[in-house]
């Protein structure tokens, strides 16, 4: 992948337009909009996508995976209700864009990727590593979470899970929030799970999206 290295005024202008579109589509959280207005999405894609990066589309990255639509990133991040210093576990590092948005909001991010190719690429992505020192990258299966650093305030799954990954609930603090797209095939419904007590969860279901699948094991 050939990465762009410049973030110009033109990019900033395109980013502002994209943020206005996200607002028009219903994203309200000013923290989410501000963070997405700052992170140069084109840095996370091949140089060929330079301006397309600021359209509301998903694009291919390495290993047959995708960077999610900006609207999807905004939607999931809004549901997650992150604040400064929230400890967030992300499953599905992919391009690293979502992790950067969370870090831009001041969260402490622990992100897991099961594809070694993507994990290795992110480690070599110097800009990301240096700009967001609060992101920690792990190679592994997100179904196992990250017990060493648990419990988390928030867990965000950015791949489509066939069912709510129950195994991750114990890694959520009481009062913590898990956002996960649930469903097999082409469509998933966004779920938000709040761990209301040690033994109880509350579940809400939101709109439909289309994610690459959350797969077991490493590759
Ligand atoms: N958050 C990403 C979107 C990536 S797409 C971004 O901002 O670009 C989903 C990613 O989840 C893919 O990279 C895929 O390899 C990864 N994935 C799928 N199942 C996984 C699992 N069990 N554990 C960790 N990562 C997984």
C-alpha 94 to ligand 1 mean position (Å): 5
Asked if residue 74 is part of any domain, the answer here is: yes
Which ranges of 25-180 does DSSP label H, i.e. alpha helix? 30-38, 70-80, 97-104, 116-124, 126-131
C-alpha 219 to ligand 1 mean position (Å): 12
Q: Considering only CA atoms, which of 128, 184, 190, 134 is closest in space to residue 158?
A: 190
Asked if residue 117 is part of any domain, the answer here is: yes
Asked if residue 97 is part of any domain, the answer here is: yes
pLDDT for 24: 98
Asked if residue 219 is part of any domain, the answer here is: no
Asked if residue 215 is part of any domain, the answer here is: no
Indicate if ligand 1 lies below 6 Å from the C-beta of 111: no
pLDDT digits (tens, 9 = 90+) for 43-81: 999 999 998 999 999 999 999 999 999 999 999 999 999
Indicate if ligand 1 lies below 6 Å from the C-beta of 67: yes
Rg (CA), the chain: 16
Residue with tokens 């509350």: 202
Are 139 and 107 in contact, with CB atoms under 8 Å apart? no
Nearest CA to ligand 1 atom 23: 142
Instruction: Give the domain range for residue 189.
Output: 9-209
> What CATH number is given to the structural domain containing 133?
3.40.50.150
* Residues catalogued as catalytic: 68
Asked if residue 205 is part of any domain, the answer here is: yes
Are 105 and 32 in contact, with CB atoms under 8 Å apart? yes
Q: Considering only CA atoms, which of 112, 105, 99, 102 is closest in space to residue 67?
A: 99
pLDDT for 28: 98
Asked if residue 1 is part of any domain, the answer here is: no
Task: Please report, rounded to a whole number, the percentage of residues in the chain having pLDDT higher than 70.
Answer: 100
pLDDT for 1: 83
Asked if residue 182 is part of any domain, the answer here is: yes
C-alpha 9 to ligand 1 mean position (Å): 31
Domain count, the chain: 1
Nearest-angstrom CA–CA distance, 1 and 127: 14
Whether the link from the prior residue into 151 is cis, omega within 30° of 0, is yes
pLDDT for 124: 86
pLDDT for 123: 86
C-alpha 74 to ligand 1 mean position (Å): 17
Indicate if ligand 1 lies below 6 Å from the C-beta of 91: yes
Nearest CA to ligand 1 atom 11: 92
pLDDT for 196: 97
Low-confidence ranges of the chain (pLDDT < 50): none
């Amino acid at each position: 992948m050939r990465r762009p290295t410049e973030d110009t005024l033109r990019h900033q202008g395109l980013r502002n337009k994209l943020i206005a579109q996200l607002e028009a589509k219903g994203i309200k959280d000013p923290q989410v909009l501000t963070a997405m207005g700052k992170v140069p999405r084109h840095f996370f894609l091949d140089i060929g996508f330079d301006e397309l990066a600021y359209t509301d589309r998903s694009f291919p990255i390495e290993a047959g995976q995708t960077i999610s639509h900006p609207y999807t990133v905004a939607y999931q991040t809004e549901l997650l209700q992150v604040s400064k210093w929230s400890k967030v576990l992300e499953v599905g590092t992919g391009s690293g864009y979502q992790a950067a948005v969370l870090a831009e909001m001041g969260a402490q991010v622990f992100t897991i990727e099961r594809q070694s190719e993507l994990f290795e690429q992110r480690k070599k992505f110097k800009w990301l590593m240096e700009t967001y020192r609060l992101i920690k990258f792990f190679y592994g299966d997100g179904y196992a979470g990250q017990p060493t650093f648990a419990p988390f305030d928030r867990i965000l799954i950015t791949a489509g899970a066939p069912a709510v990954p129950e195994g991750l609930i114990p890694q959520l603090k009481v009062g913590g929030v898990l956002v996960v797209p649930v469903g097999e095939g082409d469509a998933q419904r966004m779920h938000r799970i709040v761990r209301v007590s040690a033994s109880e969860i509350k579940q809400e279901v939101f709109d439909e999206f289309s994610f690459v699948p959350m797969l077991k094991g490493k590759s």
